[in-house]
A and B are shown apart, each in its own frame.
Chain A
Amino acid sequence: MSQKSEARWTATVLVSPAVLVLVLLNIFPIAFAVYISLRHWSLASPNPPRFAGDFNFAELLVDDRFFNSLWVSGTFVTLGVVIQLLLGFALAFVFNSKLRGLDTLRRLSLLPIMTMPLVVGLVWFYMLNENFGVINWFVTLFGSERLPFLTERTLAMLSIVLADVWQWTPFVTLVIFAALQSLPEYVFEAGRMDGLTEREIFFRITLPMLRPAIIVVLIIRAIDAFRMIELIFMMTKGGPGGATEVLPWYIYTTGFLSLDLGYAAAMAVTMIILVTLAAQVFVRQIADPGKN
């Protein structure tokens, strides 16, 4: 064996476990989802699964509920992630200032991340509940009528966003804070020497230098938020009407309650494609930081 082919062989051996894991854990499930999506496959049905061609996908195109859930998901992801970024960013700057007591506060602020999303949903469901929720109790203290936090279109969406923001803002804070800590002090001094005000330093130096961290956190949060299902399960079941029915919830009810695996898989495959496309746009931004 020549040295080169031996090196290649060694590389293959070393890489193959990773490839195997990738195939088993990532490629296979996706391929299987595609396979299911091309069949009539209902666990509830006594009939065996059969080939359906593009039936499930054609069905998607005329399914108002599907488009509604896409729209709802988009709204939820946009609202949630934007608020989390802004709030998380602000908090990161607060934590970055060297005030006393902030260390403890910073550690405490991580608690929501460690909470199970289902528990978060349950807690917020009870807090926002119209009959015995503590938040509505406060609302009535101020002389207002109880607010339909979970049963009015706009409020319900905002309530879900609120719970998600509560849980995930600390994550944004954590990442941005870490990025802030790693920024070289010299660069800010250079900016000050060049006559920039603090405001200009923020917009022209800090922000651009945090860009990679911001994009990473944006991608992680957006994908995560797009997959969110627990809050819907615990808080609204997608209601009122379909005002909070995100795509994963529709997929869940179709696949796991109605057991229509074929149609659910078609939606899931579509979702994967959409998420991948959207993520690509952002990933390019990281890979190519020179362009503004």
Chain B
Amino acid sequence: MLHFNSSNRLRHLALAAGAVGVLGAATPALADTVLEGETIRILGIGDPVFQVMQKIHGELEEMAGGTVQLDVRPFDVLRQQVLLNAQNDLSNYDLIAVDLPQFGEYMSFLTDLNPLIEANGYDGSDFHDVAWTGAQFDGAQLGVPLQPHPEIMAYRSDIFEKYGLDAPQTHADVLAAGATIQANEPGMSGVCWNAARGTALGQTFIMNMGDFGAAPIDMEKIGDDFNMGNIQPENMRPTIDTEAGAGTAAYLEALMDVSPPGILNMAWDERVRVFAQGGCAMTYIWSGRSAIYELDESAPARGNVGYVPHPSADGSPNRSTLGGWYLSIPTNIDPDRVDLAWKVIEWLTSADMIAEYTKHGNCVSPRKSVSQDAEVAARCPSIPAVDQMSADGFIAGWQRPPVPEIQKIVDALGTEMHQVLSGDKSSADALAEAHRLVDREMQKAGYY
């Protein structure tokens, strides 16, 4: 587990390390060390980027010249802890990890970073636009991207080539390629995806609904995308029992035929592992998770994977859902610590640090400069692919609207749709029921 170095780790050693520049390249913008012997308290998530920080904790503290207290929690616990910490007069943490769709829920107790950005002359333009603006609400910048990455499609380029198949762009492509490969390639199924009951399947549903250019609630449409920065009560009506919803359900049912065994219990890591071992020709994947096989020399998939945006329904634009982690400052932070917290945000999200994380199994870069680095690209082929998708405007965050009720929507869909996939319920009934449940929830919350 974590070992927290107390401040008795010799401060001058750390200072010397910073000054001599053992890893000095990591902190070029800072004349002195970041922490100057102080302690920074971070509440993180058990996801790759924070796991990397745990792994290189010693170096991290040497670089920072102070103590990095990093509390890493599982998803649900983190959420509870963030909500409870918000009730305190004084926050126990200087920085908290926030998942992109959680901004809606946390909005009221996150510090607007714009004044700090202005005061420090910080430039966010190196970040992918959708990643940077994803944390903007009502003109406030609520977080800085640390590890935002999209759910995309990974496919086995070697296998596709073998059967003369093109990279899958649409749902129809996925189903056709899946059927061909499954019929011909022994032991290999078509597609791995999140079909486990509850959160996993619920997220799958809304992200695939995004393939139809539709969101689960009635947000204001702007071009092919939606206005997430200013969601009003009248935007909270569910749009589940719709044509797009029905199309999504039909696609998921069709996917079942080209899925590996045990698909009804498959979720995040498992789908990638099965894909890595050659159990599937394609997998939906949070791009950062490609590290699981790209860094595993024994994985048959290693070096044989192509990346495309989330395949779309016919006629709709490709949109991959952006998710992942930002660093934010709680509003109840001790005012004297705000500057320190900001300095640490700048440091941990710096180009050098983002590149550093990729060395240890976090194949994510929200920064254009890092994404175009040849070394990084060689290490993590998904990073330049995602960079290109970002440039093409194929990445968005509206599939999972940042509203407090998002988990309820996900849970209702994940529960109802699982009955459809298990053959217990018709998709029409399930959609109607999920729609009703969400509608009821919104009414209960008093939006309309």
Chain A interfacial positions (CB closer than 8 Å to B): 40, 42-47, 65, 129-132, 146, 148, 150-151, 153, 235-243, 245, 253, 256-260
Which one of A44, A129, A132, A242 lies within 8 Å of B415 (CB-CB)? A242
Chain B residues positioned under 8 Å from A130 (CB to CB): 260-262, 265
Which one of A65, A150, A153, A243 lies within 8 Å of B262 (CB-CB)? A150
9 tightest Cβ-Cβ pairs between the two chains A and B: A130-B262, A239-B197, A151-B264, A240-B422, A44-B404, A130-B261, A241-B422, A241-B424, A241-B419
Check A44 against B261 for contact (C-beta < 8 Å): no
Which one of A65, A132, A242 lies within 8 Å of B277 (CB-CB)? A132
The verdict on A240 contacting B408 (CB below 8 Å), with A42-B445, A148-B261 known, is: no
Chain B residues positioned under 8 Å from A151 (CB to CB): 262-265, 422
Check A238 against B404 for contact (C-beta < 8 Å): no
Question: What are some 28 contacts across the A-B interface (CB < 8 A)?
Answer: A40-B444, A44-B105, A45-B404, A65-B415, A129-B270, A130-B261, A131-B260, A131-B261, A131-B262, A148-B261, A151-B262, A151-B265, A153-B424, A235-B265, A236-B265, A237-B198, A239-B197, A239-B264, A239-B418, A240-B422, A241-B418, A241-B423, A241-B424, A243-B422, A253-B198, A256-B80, A257-B76, A260-B441
Complex: chain B residue closest to A129, CB-CB: B262
Q: Does B279 have its Cβ within 8 Å of any Cβ on chain A?
A: yes
Q: How many residues of B contact A (CB 8 A)?
A: 39
> How far apart sit A146 and B260, CA to CA, in the bound complex (Å)?
11
> How far apart sit A44 and B210, CA to CA, in the bound complex (Å)?
24
Chain B residues positioned under 8 Å from A236 (CB to CB): 197, 265
> How far apart sit A56 and B404, CA to CA, in the bound complex (Å)?
20
> How far apart sit A238 and B265, CA to CA, in the bound complex (Å)?
10
Task: Please encode chain B, from 407 to 441, with 1 for each CB lying within 8 Å of some chain A CB and 0 for all others.
Answer: 11001000100110111110000000000000001
Chain A residues positioned under 8 Å from B423 (CB to CB): 241
Q: Does B446 have its Cβ within 8 Å of any Cβ on chain A?
A: yes
Main secondary structure of the interface of B (DSSP, over half): helix
The verdict on A44 contacting B407 (CB below 8 Å), with A65-B415, A237-B200, A239-B422 known, is: yes
Q: For residue A62, give the distance in angstroms from its CB to the closest CB of chain B.
A: 11
Interface residues of B in 183-220 (CB under 8 A from A): 196-200
Chain A residues positioned under 8 Å from B441 (CB to CB): 258, 260
> How far apart sit A237 and B105, CA to CA, in the bound complex (Å)?
24
Complex: chain A residue closest to B420, CB-CB: A241
Chain B residues positioned under 8 Å from A245 (CB to CB): 197, 415
Q: Does B6 have its Cβ within 8 Å of any Cβ on chain A?
A: no
Chain A residues positioned under 8 Å from B405 (CB to CB): 44-45
Check A237 against B80 for contact (C-beta < 8 Å): no
> How far apart sit A130 and B263, CA to CA, in the bound complex (Å)?
9
Which one of B279, B422, B444 lies within 8 Å of A42 (CB-CB)? B444
Q: For residue B160, give the distance in angstroms from its CB to the closest CB of chain A.
A: 21
Check B76 against A253 for contact (C-beta < 8 Å): no
Check A150 against B76 for contact (C-beta < 8 Å): no
Complex: chain B residue closest to A252, CB-CB: B76
Q: For residue A247, give the distance in angstroms from its CB to the closest CB of chain B.
A: 14
Q: Does B232 have its Cβ within 8 Å of any Cβ on chain A?
A: no
Check A45 against B445 for contact (C-beta < 8 Å): yes
Q: For residue B221, give the distance in angstroms from its CB to the closest CB of chain A.
A: 24
Check A46 against B404 for contact (C-beta < 8 Å): yes
Q: For residue A144, give the distance in angstroms from its CB to the closest CB of chain B.
A: 13
Task: Please encode chain B, from 329 to 348, with 1 for each CB lying within 8 Å of some chain A CB and 0 for all others.
Answer: 00000000000000000000
The verdict on A238 contacting B198 (CB below 8 Å), with A42-B445, A43-B83, A130-B261 known, is: yes
Check A153 against B422 for contact (C-beta < 8 Å): yes
Check A240 against B404 for contact (C-beta < 8 Å): no
Chain B residues positioned under 8 Å from A150 (CB to CB): 262, 264-265
> How far apart sit A65 and B434, CA to CA, in the bound complex (Å)?
12
Chain B residues positioned under 8 Å from A243 (CB to CB): 422
Q: Does B274 have its Cβ within 8 Å of any Cβ on chain A?
A: yes
